[in-house]
Amino acid sequence: MKKILLLAGLLTGAGSVLMAQSSKQVAWTYSAKKIADKTYEVHMTATIGGDYHLYAQDAGGDGPIATSFTFVKNPLFTLDGNVKETGKLIKKFESAWNHDVKFYEKTVDFVQIVKLKGNLQTNLAGKVEFMVCNDRQCLPPADVDIKVNVGG
């Protein structure tokens, strides 16, 4: 029984380390820019480390985990459209998935339009899930919290 508990503890620890490694390969920064009355662009910028790449929201086919955003519902604003991507999109065949995939290297900016329901200040909160790979390995998917001040 002690061996089983020890093995479970080691595996849990290894999983935590791998998750931490994945999160360390991408630095996320957030900002909001007013573009019209009560309307803001929320920028969620990923800076990708080393020789890793981050998959697009439409990664292309089965296999890699696409970057996805989930936002907490907030009665003080509405989301206008879907999250858009700005960056140098690369489409390339990857033998690990046996098909073409779409990804970004170095940096990509994800933009969500937010329309406030009044002259107020609030937060856009949620999570981004993503996966990074390089030519040798893929790291497990990671979730990172999002919190951006909007309005004011």
Which domain CATH number covers 42? 2.60.40.1250
**pLDDT on residue 21:** 62
Q: Which pLDDT tens digit goes with each residue over 70-110?
A: 999 999 999 999 999 999 999 999 988 899 999 999 999 99
92's tokens: 């390339």
Q: Which domain holds residue 64?
A: 2-151
Give the chain's domain count. Answer: 1
d(CA 63, CA 101): 9
